């Protein structure tokens, strides 16, 4: 069983594309091998900034012979048909076998395919993989027509076993496969040859290349943490940055540097953003949380232990932070004057062509926040003030430079503008929740402004008919609706959406988002439909409480059986109503009740009525449903013994009216007709 090693060596592959490219290489190659009948024991894919590599172990040396039978035309069919069949099957006419199928004699072709050598299959599969590789962005270079992420320089493709290694011939765009590659661009640039995957990985390491991305990131993390720890400090975790940096280096050498004292007055988030975005530095903080140093990851060792590299990086950082400090100081001047300059500047910033400027957005948010405030226990004046300041930081120099600091800078600047903590918090939190795992604000003023921001967005884009379609949601309106849903539910807010939004269409958009949200919580769509069909469905909390109670009820024995009883009653009643053309809603009279079970049902319905109505009035769905569950036994007993379609028309009608009471009571809790069996 030979092992296969492939390496595609190129100019620097963007860090963000490396992991997926390695996975794609593995899938495309192994799928191609399997499709050709070559089995293997295991496969692993690897990436560095300059190479994608694949190791396939225990590959079959050749694919098995196969034999396929194909049924052809009848014996005696026109020559043209028989010859056509032979051509299609790739066999000669005299090799056809005539067999009796019971419906006359028919020609069969037996197509024998001899097994293929692994090398032949690999050549074909690798060439096709290279030509059709799914890079998110690819390019041509020189005189070539091949597309690769950046110019491709060399290909290793070898099969190795105990007897040694053999190059599998592959040729793409003038590049032919070999058993050689290169090490680190600067530290070990010479060509060397390899004999197997183990040999490849080991020689790469000697040539200052760590093949495995996770080994590189582990090394960066532990080495950087150690350096921070040795200085009594702590490395700030940043998984995204770690993965990116591991894709920028073949031989990582973390170096810890200092941040000049001048910049330690900057908010730590500003230091981190500035260092992360532009320089790909990790932040290092002291016990108080202040960011005081950084770690940069060099791609090489040097004779001066990185001193020149670190000095250069510190210099670049100094220039970057000088900019940040300049922005911060300019911003503070405006903030301390109340931020009016920023608010004025928002008049010149377009929110959306058809929805006016950001200043107009702020006006709408202010009015809406004031309206929402009493519903969320917020002070209306404070909610309005918070909305008015919420977007001020968008005009600041810092947010212009680091858009990801929006909100956070608003929080700092609100403080410097002398605004209350509630207003400052709202400036930061009103964008939340941004994603399904993002925290939901709980402070009343933040909740009011967060709701206003999202509801204004939704009503605005609905009004100009920019609704999400299919996978397109350029204004993140689904996220906004989900944000409203989570704000309402997680803060237990009783809020009639229809007083804040206009139109059935938008309300049903909310309902669709709610279905998705509840499905993730394990509530099935029919339970949601049964709750949606009830009045008050613009009150999301009510709606969800009803759906949750119903879902819990359905999980009980009584619940499941009651639904069967209800459906039976409803079906019989509906059929009778259809047939008779009347609605049996006159009220059943116990005096026509003959059977004991019938009488018992009357009593049970009276009792249920007495319990359910007040429970529903108090929106206590659990109590209402447990009262409804008490109907299960009487309903079951009733159907067991009583014939609805009695000979006496009086009895029949009375019983149908009784069924109508079952229907009415049950439907007062949720529309049980929507439930699936």
Nearer to another protein, 135 or 592 (CB): 135
Q: Which is nearer to another protein, 43 or 152 (CB)?
A: 152
**Binding of another protein at residue 319 (CB under 8 A)?**
yes
SS3 (DSSP) at 77: coil
Q: Which two tokens stand for residue 85?
A: 């069949």
Report, in Å, the least distance between residue 626 CB and another protein: 59
| Residues of this chain, 428-487, that bind another protein according to CB under 8 A | none
Nearest to 249 by CA among 212, 283, 224, 222: 212
Q: How far is the CB of 308 from another protein (least distance, A)?
A: 4
Site string for another protein, 45-64 (x = CB under 8 A): ----x---------------
d(CA 463, CA 476): 16
What mask of x and - would describe binding to another protein in positions 221 to 250, judged by CB under 8 A? ---------------------------xx-
- Report the first-to-last Cα separation within the chain, whole angstroms: 55
Query: If DSSP codes are grouped into helix, strand and coil, which group holds residue 327?
Result: helix
Please tell me the distance from the alpha carbon of residue 405 to that of residue 266, in angstroms, as a whole number. Answer: 13
For position 304 contacting another protein by CB under 8 A, the verdict is: yes
Peptide bond before residue 433 is cis, with ω within 30 degrees of 0: yes
Binder of another protein out of 349, 582, 610, 618 (CB under 8 A): 349
Out of 37, 73, 115, 151, the only residue in the binding site for another protein (CB under 8 A) is: 151
Q: Which of 303, 472, 535, 555 touches another protein by CB under 8 A?
A: 303
Q: CA 515 → CA 171, 480, 509, 550, distances in Å?
A: 53, 15, 10, 15
Q: How many CB atoms lie within 10 A of CB 294?
A: 28
Query: Distances from the Cα of 486 to the Cαs of 250, 282, 493, 513, 592, in angstroms?
Result: 44, 33, 10, 11, 52
| In the complex, minimum distance from the CB of residue 252 to another protein, in angstroms, rounded to a whole number | 11
> Which residues, at least 6 apart from 4, have a Cβ–Cβ distance to it below 8 Å?
40, 54, 55, 56, 59, 118, 122, 157, 158, 159, 168
Candidates 74, 153, 203, 212; binder of another protein (CB under 8 A) is: 153
For β-strands 175-178 and 3-10, DSSP reports them as unpaired
Beta-strand relationship, 175-178 and 152-161: parallel
Where does this chain touch another protein (CB under 8 A) — which range of 1-9, 134-142, 162-170, 542-550?
A: 134-142
CB closer to another protein out of 391 and 655: 391
Span from 156-164, 300-308, 539-547, 599-607 in contact with another protein (CB under 8 A) = 300-308
> Which listed range, 131-139, 459-467, 470-478, 532-540, lies at the site for another protein (CB under 8 A)?
131-139
Stretch that binds another protein, among 317-325, 361-369, 431-439, 485-493 (CB under 8 A): 317-325
Site string for another protein, 322-341 (x = CB under 8 A): x-------------------
Does 20 bind another protein (CB under 8 A)? Our answer is: no
589 three-class SS: coil
Find the binding residues for another protein in span 263-282 (CB under 8 A): 279, 281
Decide if residue 299 touches another protein (CB under 8 A).
yes
| Angular region, 587: left φ>0, alpha ψ -120 to 50, beta rest | left
* DSSP conformation letters of 556-579: SHHHHHHHHHHHHHHHHHHHHHHH
| Contact code string over 657-676 relative to another protein, x by CB under 8 A | --------------------
Q: Choose, by CB under 8 A, the member of 92, 94, 103, 137 that binds another protein.
A: 137
Q: Given the rule CB under 8 A, which of 55-63, 115-123, 143-151, 666-674 is the region that contacts another protein?
A: 143-151
Closer to another protein by Cβ: residue 146 or 642: 146
- Indicate which single residue of 300, 478, 568, 674 sits in contact with another protein (rule: CB under 8 A): 300
Q: Is there binding between residue 15 and another protein (CB under 8 A)?
A: yes
Q: Are 445 and 423 in contact (CB under 8 A)?
A: yes
Contact between 141 and another protein (CB under 8 A)?
yes
Which pair of structure tokens corresponds to residue 438? Answer: 């993002």
Nearest to 208 by CA among 227, 192, 225: 192
> Nearest distance from residue 534's CB to another protein, in Å?
46
Pick 80 or 174: Cβ nearer another protein:
174
Ramachandran sector of residue 229 (left: φ over 0; alpha: ψ -120 to 50; beta: rest) = alpha
Chosen residue from 315, 333, 496, 502 binding another protein by CB under 8 A: 315
- Rounded Cα distance between 314 and 441, Å, is 38
Q: Is 186 in the site for another protein (CB under 8 A)?
A: yes
The token duo for 237 is 């975790």
Looking at beta carbons only, is 309 or 368 nearer to another protein?
309
Phi, psi of 588, rounded to the nearest 5 degrees: -85, 150
Q: Which helix (H) or strand (E) holds 513?
A: helix 504-520
Using the minimum distance from each CB to another protein, give the nearer residue, 207 or 427: 207
Pick the closer one to another protein by CB: 296 or 537. Answer: 296
Among 33, 209, 246, 317, binds another protein (CB under 8 A): 317
Q: How many CB atoms lie within 10 A of CB 308?
A: 12
Residue 151: closest CA among 141, 143, 137? 141
Residue among 308, 508, 571, 645 that touches another protein (CB under 8 A): 308
Q: Tell me which residues touch another protein (CB under 8 A).
A: 11-12, 14-16, 49, 137-144, 149-151, 153, 186, 248-249, 279, 281, 296, 298-300, 302-304, 308-309, 311-313, 315-317, 319, 322, 348-350, 353
């Amino acid at each position: 069983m030979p092992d296969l090693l492939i390496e595609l060596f190129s100019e620097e592959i963007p860090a963000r594309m490396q992991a997926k490219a390695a996975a794609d290489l593995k899938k495309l190659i192994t799928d191609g091998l399997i499709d050709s009948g070559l089995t293997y024991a295991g496969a692993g894919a690897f990436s560095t900034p300059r190479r994608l590599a694949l190791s396939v172990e225990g590959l079959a040396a050749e694919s098995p012979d196969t034999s396929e039978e194909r049924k052809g035309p009848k014996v005696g069919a026109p020559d043209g048909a028989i010859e056509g069949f032979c051509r299609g099957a790739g066999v000669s006419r005299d090799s056809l076998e005539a067999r009796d199928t019971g419906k006359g004699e028919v020609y069969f072709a037996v197509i024998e395919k001899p097994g293929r050598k692994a090398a032949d299959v690999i050549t074909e599969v690798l060439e096709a993989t290279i030509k059709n590789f799914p890079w998110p962005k690819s390019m041509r270079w020189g005189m070539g027509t091949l597309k690769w992420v950046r110019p491709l320089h060399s290909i290793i493709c070898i099969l190795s076993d105990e007897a040694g290694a053999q190059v599998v011939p592959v040729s793409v765009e003038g590049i032919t496969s070999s058993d050689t590659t290169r090490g680190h661009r600067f530290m070990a640039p010479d060509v060397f040859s390899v004999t197997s995957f183990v040999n490849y990985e080991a020689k790469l390491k000697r040539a200052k290349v760590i093949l495995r991305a996770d080994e590189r990131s582990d090394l960066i993390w532990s080495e950087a943490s150690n350096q921070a720890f040795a200085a009594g400090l702590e490395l700030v975790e940043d998984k995204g940055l770690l993965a990116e940096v591991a894709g920028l280096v073949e031989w990582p050498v973390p170096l810890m540097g200092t941040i000049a004292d001048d910049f330690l007055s900057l908010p730590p988030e500003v230091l981190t953003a500035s260092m992360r975005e532009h320089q790909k530095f990790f932040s290092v903080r002291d016990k108080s949380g202040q960011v005081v140093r950084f770690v940069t990851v060099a791609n090489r060792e040097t004779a001066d232990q990185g001193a020149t590299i670190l000095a250069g990086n510190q210099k670049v950082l100094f220039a970057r932070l000088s900019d940040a400090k300049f922005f911060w100081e300019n911003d503070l001047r405006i903030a301390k004057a109340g931020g009016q300059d920023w608010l004025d500047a928002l008049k010149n910033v377009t929110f959306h062509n058809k929805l006016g400027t950001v200043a107009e957005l702020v006006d709408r948010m202010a009015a809406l926040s004031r309206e929402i405030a009493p519903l969320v226990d917020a002070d209306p004046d404070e909610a309005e003030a918070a909305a008015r300041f919420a977007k001020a930081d968008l005009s600041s120099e810092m947010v212009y430079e680091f858009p990801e600091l929006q909100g956070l800078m608003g929080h700092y600047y609100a403080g410097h503008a002398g605004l209350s903590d509630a207003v400052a918090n709202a400036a930061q939190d009103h964008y939340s929740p941004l994603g399904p795992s993002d925290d939901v604000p709980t402070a009343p003023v933040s909740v009011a402004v967060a709701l206003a921001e999202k509801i204004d967005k939704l009503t605005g884009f609905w009004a100009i008919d920019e609704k999400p379609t299919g996978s397109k949601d350029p204004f993140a309106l689904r996220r906004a609706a989900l944000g409203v849903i989570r704000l309402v539910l997680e803060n237990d807010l009783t809020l009639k959406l229809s007083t804040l939004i206009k139109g059935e269409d938008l309300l049903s958009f909310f309902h669709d988002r709610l279905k998705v949200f509840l499905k993730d919580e394990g509530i099935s769509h029919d339970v949601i439909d049964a709750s949606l069909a009830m009045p008050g469905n613009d009150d999301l909390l009510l709606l969800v409480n009803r759906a949750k109670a119903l879902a819990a009820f359905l999980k009980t024995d009584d619940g499941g059986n009651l639904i069967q009883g209800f459906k039976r009653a409803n079906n019989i009643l509906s059929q009778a109503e259809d047939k008779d053309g009347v609605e049996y809603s006159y009220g059943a009279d116990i005096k026509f009740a003959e059977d004991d079970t019938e009488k018992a049902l009357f009593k049970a319905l009276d009792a249920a009525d007495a319990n359910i109505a007040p429970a529903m009035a108090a929106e206590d769905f659990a109590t209402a449903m447990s009262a409804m569950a008490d109907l299960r036994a009487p309903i079951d007993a009733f159907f067991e013994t009583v014939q609805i379609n009695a000979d006496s028309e009086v009895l029949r009608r009375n019983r149908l009216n009784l069924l109508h009471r079952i229907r009415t009571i049950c439907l007062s809790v949720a529309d049980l007709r929507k439930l699936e069996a």
